[in-house]
Structure 1
Amino acid sequence: MKILAPTTPLDPARYGRVALILGGLSAERPISLKSGAAVLAALQRLGIDVTALDPAGHPGSALFEALNPQRFERAFLILHGRGGEDGQIQGALETLGLPYTGSGVLGSAIGMDKYRTKQIWIGAGLPTADFRLILDETALEQAIALGFPLMIKPAHEGSSLGMARANDPDELIAAWREAARLDAVVLAERWLTGAEYTCGILGEQALPLIRLETPNLFYDFEAKYQANSTSYHCPCGLPESLEAEYQALCLQAFRVVGGSGWGRVDFMLDEAGTPRLLEVNTIPGMTDHSLVPMAAQAAGIDFDSLCARILETSILETRLLETVSHG
C-alpha cells in the first residue's frame, strides 16, 4: 500500500528555529555536504527557519555554544559517518536538551557498529551473513575458514568505504590492510550471490523496497554516488506478500538495534534465496543518488514532504520523552 503525503498545510512555526547539522569530519563529509545542501533547500522551500551548521567549523566547546537552545529549538541531523551516526552528536544534543531528528544515542552507536549490530541480530534470531571479526593478522585464518570469496569491510564506516572482495588469501591480506587503515575493527563476511535490496524506514512504516543492480563487483562507493550504470528497481519485482515479509523483517531489524525516526536497512539474498541482513543506516544519504528519497517518491512522498516528515521525528521524540518523564 502506498504511503501518501499529508494533505494538511505545513505550519513552519511549529518547528521554530532549526539547526541543520551537516558536514563534519568523517570520511563521508563530501556526501553529508551534498545531502545537507539538498535538505537545506527543501526546508527553505517549506518556509522553515533553518540555519546550516558544520561542526568542522566549530571545534570543541564552540559547537555547544553554536547550538545554544536560546538560538535553536531543534536540530535536523544530516551528518554521515563517525561523529554523526555513532551517537556523538546525539549525546551532545541530549546534554543541551535540544530535540533532534532520527535515532537516539544508543540506536545510533549500535547502528554505526556493524559487528555489534550483527551480534544483536543473531541474538534476536534474525538472519545475517556469516562473518568473522578481524582485529589483527592472527584472525585471518578464521576468516579463511568461511570460504572464498569474502567481503571485507570496516566495522564503523559507511558509503561502502574500505570495502573490497577477496578471492584468495593474498587478496584477503591486502583487503584487510586497506580496511584497517580506516578502522581497527574489520569484518570478513561470506560473499552473497543473490539480489540486493534496501528498505527505507520512515516513522513506523517501511517504504517500498528497492532492488539494486550494478555492473561493478558490488554496490561500492562509485556505484552509489558516481556511476550512471547502477539500476534501481522500485517496484522491486517481488510478489507483494514476499515484499511485505521482507519489509517487516527490516522494520524488526531496525527496531531491535534501537533505531527510530527514520533510516535504512540493507539486505541481500543468499544462494538459497534466504534474506541476509547486512547493515543499518541511521542517517541515510539525501543526495540525488540516494535511496530513501527514491523509495519515498515511489510511496507518493516528494522530497520536500520527506524532509518535513523527518523533521517531524524531532517533535515525536520530544513528546515521547515528555511522556516518559511525567508518567
Structure 2
Amino acid sequence: MNLLLIAGGWSSERDVSLSGARKIHTAMENLGHSVRFLDPALEFDTITEAAEEAEFAFINMHGSPGEDGLVQAMLDAVGCPYQGAGASESFMALNKAASKQLFRRAGIPTPDWQLVTSRPDESWKCELELPVFVKPNCGGSSVGMGLVREPEQLLPAVNAVFDLCDEAIIEPYMPGVELTCGMLGGRALPLIMIKPKPGSEFFDYANKYDADGAEEICPAPVDDAITEAVQGMTLVANEALGLTGYSRADFILSDGQPWLLEVNTLPGMTPTSLLPQAAAELGLTFEGLIAELIRTGMRERG
C-alpha cells in the first residue's frame, strides 16, 4: 500500500511525535508498504494533496494539531482512511475538562477539577484545596504540568501553563500509584503500573522519556478486581467518547479506588511506549500492532 505517515507538527510534543514516527516508518517498510513522511510544520499546505495520493494515512501526532481532530477532519474531507478516533471524537478527548464531564455522566470516577480560561491576576482564588496539579487543559506528555503544595506556588504554576497555551486545568493531588490501560479494537489490554524514578513525585516528562525514567511494569501487579475494574472503566470511557481503533486511558489508584484522569487518542508509538508494551504482553509485535491498526482503520473508513 501507499501510506502517508503524518508526524511532527508544532506542538510542545513535537519531538515525541517524531521519535515514534521513525520506528513506525521502519515497521511500515518492513511490512512491505511504500511510505511518504509528512511533517505538518513544514508541509501543512500539502496535506490534502498528499492524502488524495495515498491509500491510507497513519497519524502519529501529539497535542495540537493532531490529537485535536484537525488532521482527521482534513483526511475525512478528501476520503483518505486513517487509524484511530475521528475528528470530533479526537477534539472531545483532548479537552480534559470536556471529557471529564462525559466520564462523570457515564458513572466513571474522575478527580474534581477547575478550568481556568484566562490568565489570573492576584485576586484569583483556587476552588480546590492544596495540594493540586496544574496542567494544560489540552495537552499531553506532562508538558507544563506542576504539583503545587504551597499557596505561593499556585499563581506561578498557572501562569506557566498560560505561557504554553490558553487554558489550564487544576485537579486535586491524589496519592497513589499510576495505572494505564490500552484499548485495541474494542478490547482492553493488560494494565501497566508506572513507578516514577526515585525523587520524583509524579509521572512527569523526564520520567516518561529519559533513559533512566520511570519503571513500567506489565502486567501491573494488582489484584484481579482492580484489573477488571480499570479495564471495564476504560471500555466505558471509550464508548462515552465514541472512540474506535485504539487509545490509552490513564488512572490513579488511590486508597484502592481507580480514578480516570484522561484518555489519549494517539498514544505514544515507539516499541517501548506503553500501549505497544501492553500489546506485546498479548503476543503482538510492534510491526504486528502497526499492521493491525492499518487493518482496523481500513475496515472502519476504507
Q: Give TM class, smaller chain.
A: over 0.9
**Equivalent residues in 2 for 1:1-327 (5 A)?**
16-60=1-45, 62-67=46-51, 69=52, 71-136=53-118, 137=120, 140-141=124-125, 143=126, 145-214=127-196, 215=198, 216-270=200-254, 272-318=255-301
Return the alpha-carbon distance in structure 1 between the equivalents of residues 50 and 56 of structure 2: 13
What letter corresponds to residue 195 of structure 1 in structure 2? V
After superposition, give the CA deviation of every residue in 1:269-305 in whole Å (9 maximum; x if it has no partner).
22x3211110111011112541011111111111110
What letter corresponds to residue 221 of structure 2 in structure 1? G
Contact 1:87-1:104 within 8 A present in 2 as well: yes
What letter corresponds to residue 42 of structure 1 in structure 2? A
After superposition, give the CA deviation of every residue in 1:143-182 in whole Å (9 maximum; x if it has no partner).
2x42111000100111101100011221111110001111
Contact 1:106-1:258 within 8 A present in 2 as well: no
Q: TM-score scaled by structure 2?
A: 0.94
Return the alpha-carbon distance in structure 1 between the equivalents of residues 289 and 49 of structure 2: 29
Partner of 1:278: helix, strand, or coil?
strand
What letter corresponds to residue 47 of structure 1 in structure 2? G
Partner of 1:64: helix, strand, or coil?
helix
Return the alpha-carbon distance in structure 1 between the equivalents of residues 261 and 165 of structure 2: 18
Return the alpha-carbon distance in structure 1 between the equivalents of residues 249 and 266 of structure 2: 11
Return the alpha-carbon distance in structure 1 between the equivalents of residues 224 and 282 of structure 2: 14
Return the alpha-carbon distance in structure 2 between the equivalents of residues 159 and 229 of structure 1: 13
- Answer with 197-206 or 280-289: which moved more: 280-289
Quote how far apart the aligned CAs of 1:227 are. 4.2
Return the alpha-carbon distance in structure 2 between the equivalents of residues 235 and 27 of structure 1: 30
Partner of 2:44: helix, strand, or coil?
coil
Structure 1 residues 318 and 187: CA distance shift in structure 2, 3 A: same
After superposition, give the CA deviation of every residue in 1:40-81 in whole Å (9 maximum; x if it has no partner).
101111112222121222133x322222x2x21111111111
Number of equivalenced pairs: 298
Contact 2:226-2:258 within 8 A present in 1 as well: no
Return the alpha-carbon distance in structure 2 between the equivalents of residues 237 and 313 of structure 1: 30
Contact 2:106-2:236 within 8 A present in 1 as well: no
What letter corresponds to residue 131 of structure 1 in structure 2? W
Q: TM-score scaled by structure 1?
A: 0.87
What letter corresponds to residue 260 of structure 1 in structure 2? T
Contact 1:225-1:289 within 8 A present in 2 as well: no
Q: Percent identity?
A: 37
Structure 1 residues 229 and 54: CA distance shift in structure 2, 3 A: closer
When the two chains are superposed, the root-mean-square deviation of aligned CA atoms in Å is 1.5
Unaligned runs of 5+ in 2: none
Unaligned runs of 5+ in 1: 1-15, 320-327
Contact 2:4-2:50 within 8 A present in 1 as well: no
Return the alpha-carbon distance in structure 1 between the equivalents of residues 291 and 246 of structure 2: 12
Partner of 2:190: helix, strand, or coil?
coil
Return the alpha-carbon distance in structure 1 between the equivalents of residues 238 and 173 of structure 2: 23
- Answer with 225-234 or 299-308: which moved more: 225-234
Partner of 1:268: helix, strand, or coil?
strand
Quote how far apart the aligned CAs of 1:229 are. 4.0
